[in-house]
Structure 1
Amino acid sequence: MSPRIATILLLTLVRCTAAVALTPYQVDPHTLHLWHLDEKSPPFIDSSPDGFPLRSLHNGAESGQLSNPGLGHAISFNHHTGGTPFWSNLKGAILTIAPELSGDKSDNAPDNFRFQGDDGAFTYEALIKFDLLPEQSQTIALAILTMDGENDDRIFSFRIEREGFLSFSPLPDSGAAGGALASIPTTGPHAINTRDWFHVAVSYNGLPGTPGALRLFWTRIGSGVEEANAIGSGMLTANLARTTGDFAIGNEARSSGDGNAEAEPFPGLIDEVRMSSVARHPTDFIFIPPEKRVSPELAAERANDESSSERFELQINRIDVDGETIHHIPQNGSPLQLKPGLHRLDFDIGAISGLRRAVQLRSQLEGFNEEWKESSLGMSLSFEFLDAQLKPLSQAQFNMNGHSPGWDTGFAFSRFIHRRAPLLAPPNSQFLRVTLSSGAPDTSGSLGIDNLHIVRPNRPELSLWENGDFEGGVNILSPMRAPSGWQRGGDEPAIALVSTGEGSTILCLIDGDQTKSGKWSAIQKIDFDPGHAEDRSLMVSWSEAYNIIPGNQQRATFLNVPAGTYHFRAIGVTDQGPPTSASVSLELEVKPYFWETTWFTPAITASIISLIAIAILRHRHRRHHRRMHELSLQTALERDRTRIARDMHDDLGTRVSVLNLTASLARRSIGCAPEKASAHLDKISTASRELVAAMDELVWAVDPSNDHLDSLALQLTRHAEEVFQDSEIRCRLDIPPSLPHHPINSDLRHHVSMAVREAFHNILKHAGPCEVFLKFTFEAGQLEIEIRDNGRGFDETAANHGNGLINIRNRIRELGGTAKIQSQGHKGTLLVLQCPVPKTPHLRTP
Structure 2
Amino acid sequence: MSHRPFIAIIALIFLLLPLVGQSDVTPYIPDAHTLHLWHLDEAGPPFTDAGLSPTPLLGLLNGAEAGLPSLPHLGSSISFDHDAGGRPGSPEFKGAILIASPQLHAGRRDNAPRSLRYFGHDGAFTYEALVKFDKLPDETKQSGFTILSMDDETNCRIFSLRLDRQSILTFAPLPDSGSQGGAVAHLPKDGDHAINTEDWFHVAIAYNGIENLSNNIQIYWTRVKPNTRRANRIGSGTLTSDFNGRLGDFAIGNEARQSDPKNAESQPFPGRIDEVRISSIARNPSDFIFIPAADRLPSSTVENAHTPFPGVDELPLFLANILVDGSPADFRHKAGEELTLEPGLHRLDFDFSYPTGPLNEAVQFRCQLEGIDERWIDSTRGMTILCQVRDDQNNIISEARFDAVGTSKGWGNSPGESELTARSEPLFIPPAGRHVYIAIESGSPDTTGTLIIDNLDISLPGKDPISLWQNGDFSRGIDLDLPQGIPNRWSRRGSDPTIAQVTSEGSKFALMLADGDQTHFATWACRQSFDPVIFGGRTVIISWDEAYNIIGGSLHRATYVNVPPGRYHFRAIGLSAGERPTTASLSLPINIRLPYWQRPWFPPAVTASCVALLAIYFIRAARRRARRRLRELAFQNALERDRTRIARDMHDDLGTRITVLNLSASLALRELDQNPESSRRHLGKLNQSARDLVVAMDDLVWAVDPAHDSLDQLASHLTRLSEEIFRDSPVRCRLDIPSILPARELGSDFRHQLSLAVKEALHNVLRHAGPCEVHLSLRYDGSRILIEIRDNGVGFESKSESSRHGLEYLSKRLHEIGGTCIINSIPDGGTQVVFDCPLQDRSNLTKP
Q: Name the TM tier (shorter chain).
A: 0.5 to 0.7
> Aligned to 2:569, what secondary structure does the other structure show?
strand
Name the counterpart of 2:92: 89
Q: Distance in 2 between matches of 1:286 and 1:50?
A: 19
Does the aligned pair in 2 maintain the 1:394–1:559 contact within 8 Å? no
Q: CA, structure 1 residues 283+324, in 2 after alignment: closer, same or farther (shift >3 Å)?
A: same
Q: CA deviation at 1:576?
A: 3.3
Q: Distance in 2 between matches of 1:424 and 1:303?
A: 44
> Aligned to 1:291, what secondary structure does the other structure show?
helix
Aligned partner letter, 2:494:
G
Q: CA, structure 1 residues 227+339, in 2 after alignment: closer, same or farther (shift >3 Å)?
A: same
Q: CA, structure 1 residues 14+390, in 2 after alignment: closer, same or farther (shift >3 Å)?
A: farther
Does the aligned pair in 1 maintain the 2:263–2:417 contact within 8 Å? no
Name the counterpart of 2:515: 511
> Aligned to 1:46, what secondary structure does the other structure show?
coil
Q: Distance in 2 between matches of 1:567 and 1:284?
A: 46
Q: Distance in 2 between matches of 1:317 and 1:177?
A: 26
Q: CA deviation at 1:445?
A: 0.5
Q: Give me the identity figure in percent.
A: 46
Q: Distance in 1 between matches of 2:314 and 2:28?
A: 36
Q: Distance in 2 between matches of 1:261 and 1:586?
A: 53
Does the aligned pair in 1 maintain the 2:314–2:585 contact within 8 Å? no
Q: CA, structure 1 residues 189+470, in 2 after alignment: closer, same or farther (shift >3 Å)?
A: same
Q: CA, structure 1 residues 88+257, in 2 after alignment: closer, same or farther (shift >3 Å)?
A: closer
Q: CA deviation at 1:426?
A: 2.3
Does the aligned pair in 2 maintain the 1:27–1:34 contact within 8 Å? yes
Q: CA deviation at 1:231?
A: 0.4
Q: Distance in 2 between matches of 1:442 and 1:238?
A: 20
Name the counterpart of 2:502: 498
- Any idea what the Cα deviations from partners look like across 1:21-70, whole Å, max 9, x if unmatched? 32111111111111111111111111124301111210001011011011
- Any idea what the Cα deviations from partners look like across 1:288-316, whole Å, max 9, x if unmatched? 22222221321248976967779843121
Name the counterpart of 1:829: none
Name the counterpart of 1:471: 475
Q: Distance in 2 between matches of 1:386 and 1:305?
A: 46
Aligned partner letter, 2:546:
E
- Residue from 170, 183, 186 that aligns with 1:183: 186
Does the aligned pair in 2 maintain the 1:33–1:275 contact within 8 Å? yes
Q: Distance in 1 between matches of 2:209 and 2:510?
A: 35
Q: CA, structure 1 residues 445+603, in 2 after alignment: closer, same or farther (shift >3 Å)?
A: same
Q: CA deviation at 1:162?
A: 1.6
Q: CA, structure 1 residues 283+543, in 2 after alignment: closer, same or farther (shift >3 Å)?
A: same
Name the counterpart of 1:200: 203
Aligned partner letter, 1:589:
N
- Residue from 400, 406, 420 that aligns with 1:416: 420
Q: CA, structure 1 residues 124+456, in 2 after alignment: closer, same or farther (shift >3 Å)?
A: same
Q: Distance in 2 between matches of 1:135 and 1:435?
A: 29
Name the counterpart of 1:125: 128
Name the counterpart of 1:577: 579
Q: Distance in 1 between matches of 2:111 and 2:335?
A: 60
Q: Distance in 1 between matches of 2:404 and 2:372?
A: 27
> Aligned to 2:19, what secondary structure does the other structure show?
helix
Q: CA, structure 1 residues 209+307, in 2 after alignment: closer, same or farther (shift >3 Å)?
A: farther
Q: CA, structure 1 residues 528+476, in 2 after alignment: closer, same or farther (shift >3 Å)?
A: same
Q: How does 1:21-32 map to 2 (within 5 A)?
A: 21-32=24-35
- Any idea what the Cα deviations from partners look like across 1:568-612, whole Å, max 9, x if unmatched? 1111111333110111111111122234334667999999xxxxx
Does the aligned pair in 1 maintain the 2:384–2:403 contact within 8 Å? yes
> Aligned to 2:498, what secondary structure does the other structure show?
helix
Q: CA deviation at 1:141?
A: 1.1
Aligned partner letter, 2:251:
A
* 1:100 partnered with 2:103: yes
Name the counterpart of 1:164: 167
Aligned partner letter, 2:259:
S
Aligned partner letter, 2:532:
F
Name the counterpart of 1:666: none
Name the counterpart of 1:43: 46
Q: Distance in 2 between matches of 1:604 and 1:458?
A: 56
Larger mean CA deviation between 441-450 and 316-325 belongs to: 316-325
Does the aligned pair in 2 maintain the 1:413–1:501 contact within 8 Å? no
Q: Distance in 2 between matches of 1:479 and 1:409?
A: 19
* 1:592 partnered with 2:620: no
Q: Distance in 2 between matches of 1:356 and 1:253?
A: 37
Q: CA deviation at 1:448?
A: 0.8
Q: CA deviation at 1:537?
A: 2.1
Name the counterpart of 1:565: 567
Q: Distance in 1 between matches of 2:206 and 2:333?
A: 37
> Aligned to 1:494, what secondary structure does the other structure show?
helix
- Residue from 523, 528, 551 that aligns with 2:527: 523
Aligned partner letter, 2:326:
G
Q: How does 1:724-743 map to 2 (within 5 A)?
A: none
* 1:293 partnered with 2:296: yes
Aligned partner letter, 1:439:
G
Does the aligned pair in 2 maintain the 1:129–1:198 contact within 8 Å? yes
Aligned partner letter, 2:220:
F
Q: Distance in 1 between matches of 2:102 and 2:603?
A: 88
* TM-score normalized with structure 2 length: 0.68
Q: How does 1:144-163 map to 2 (within 5 A)?
A: 144-163=147-166
- Residue from 380, 391, 394 that aligns with 2:395: 391
Q: Distance in 2 between matches of 1:259 and 1:601?
A: 72
Q: Distance in 2 between matches of 1:311 and 1:602?
A: 47
Aligned partner letter, 2:155:
D
Q: Distance in 1 between matches of 2:270 and 2:536?
A: 59
Q: CA deviation at 1:331?
A: 3.1
Q: How does 1:220-235 map to 2 (within 5 A)?
A: 220-222=223-225, 224-235=227-238
Q: CA deviation at 1:394?
A: 2.0
Name the counterpart of 2:243: 240
Q: CA, structure 1 residues 303+585, in 2 after alignment: closer, same or farther (shift >3 Å)?
A: closer
Name the counterpart of 1:137: 140
Q: CA deviation at 1:332?
A: 4.1
Q: CA deviation at 1:494?
A: 0.8
- Residue from 425, 436, 440 that aligns with 1:436: 440
- Any idea what the Cα deviations from partners look like across 1:455-487, whole Å, max 9, x if unmatched? 112475332111101111121232422111111
Q: How does 1:640-659 map to 2 (within 5 A)?
A: none
* 1:59 partnered with 2:62: yes
> Aligned to 1:370, what secondary structure does the other structure show?
coil
Q: CA deviation at 1:211?
A: 0.7
- Any idea what the Cα deviations from partners look like across 1:479-499, whole Å, max 9, x if unmatched? 422111111111111111111
Q: CA, structure 1 residues 301+200, in 2 after alignment: closer, same or farther (shift >3 Å)?
A: closer
* 1:219 partnered with 2:222: yes
Name the counterpart of 1:553: 555
Name the counterpart of 1:450: 454
Q: Distance in 1 between matches of 2:367 and 2:305?
A: 33
Looking at CA atoms only, which structure, 1 or 2, has the larger radius of gyration?
2
- Any idea what the Cα deviations from partners look like across 1:627-663, whole Å, max 9, x if unmatched? xxxxxxxxxxxxxxxxxxxxxxxxxxxxxxxxxxxxx
Q: CA deviation at 1:167?
A: 1.1
RMSD of equivalent CA atoms? 2.7
- Any idea what the Cα deviations from partners look like across 1:387-441, whole Å, max 9, x if unmatched? 2122222210000110100111122111111001111122321111100001111
Q: CA deviation at 1:370?
A: 2.3
Q: CA, structure 1 residues 308+211, in 2 after alignment: closer, same or farther (shift >3 Å)?
A: farther
Q: Distance in 1 between matches of 2:328 and 2:430?
A: 27
Does the aligned pair in 2 maintain the 1:314–1:352 contact within 8 Å? yes
> Aligned to 2:300, what secondary structure does the other structure show?
helix
Q: CA deviation at 1:324?
A: 1.6
Q: CA, structure 1 residues 193+599, in 2 after alignment: closer, same or farther (shift >3 Å)?
A: closer
**Residue ranges of structure 1 left out of the alignment (5+ in a row):** 608-846
Larger mean CA deviation between 221-230 and 98-107 belongs to: 221-230
Q: Distance in 2 between matches of 1:386 and 1:541?
A: 19
Q: Distance in 2 between matches of 1:599 and 1:527?
A: 43
